[in-house]
Structure 1
């Protein structure tokens, strides 16, 4: 008697596709002193400098177009001091549709995820 109900329950659950891994993450950064917003692409496992922040995305995922668009990236952010010493200030997932959910907490800079992409005009680190 229970087996037919379990079979029906399997069809009632929505099917979800696996997230799609992308090699490039696009971020926007705000310098709160100047009020300037900069948009920049970063390859996965590449570290870029935005002001005093070193930003390193480790993964960037989105969902297929048939599903709710949830774009997420796992990143590490270090703050570089004037002496060149870096201190980790953020490690975690960032979501493009909810930038305030898990934000980089810094007095001068804001950084948020825009999208994940398969390509960019920026040459890969090994070709620079």
Structure 2
């Protein structure tokens, strides 16, 4: 686990340990993908377990959580992102909507971030 991954894991656990905030699990999420070479952005509406393609990437939503009672609050989603030409994931972990750089996917052409969870 990288230092950034450890910091993210700790950040996700602290509210649960302290009891500061309860979370709810969404039925899906809205993600935004950016092709950095041509400047094209697309929004992906995914239900939990569903995948979408962004160029040569396959983006799979594993889970989306948000503050209980505040669906418009800060969402965070567990994503698996694979390049179809590679065996190992390009990214696998939690992304936080308000802090996408905290746990960002590092790819030369594409960028992906979480916008919000779906509740219906």
Shared topology, TM-score over 0.5? yes
**Does structure 2 retain, via aligned residues, the 8 Å contact 1:79–1:88?**
yes
RMSD over aligned Cα, in angstroms? 2.2
Aligned residues: 103
1:61 to 2:65 alignment: yes
CA-to-partner distance for each residue in 1:79-128, whole Å, 9 max, x for gaps?
112xxx54311111100000111011111100000000123xxxxxxxxx
| Residues in 2 aligned to 1:22 and 1:111: alpha-carbon distance in whole angstroms | 19
- Separation (CA, whole Å) in 1 of partners of 2:48 and 2:107: 22
Contact 1:26 1:113 in 2 (8 A): yes
Unpaired stretches in structure 2, ≥5 consecutive residues: 1-17
Q: Equivalents in 2 of 1:86, 1:58: separation in Å?
A: 19
Give the structure 2 partner of residue 32 of structure 1.
36
Runs of at least 4 residues off by over 2 Å: 14-18
CA-CA distance at 1:40 after TM superposition: 1.3
Instruction: Say which one has the larger Rg.
Output: 1
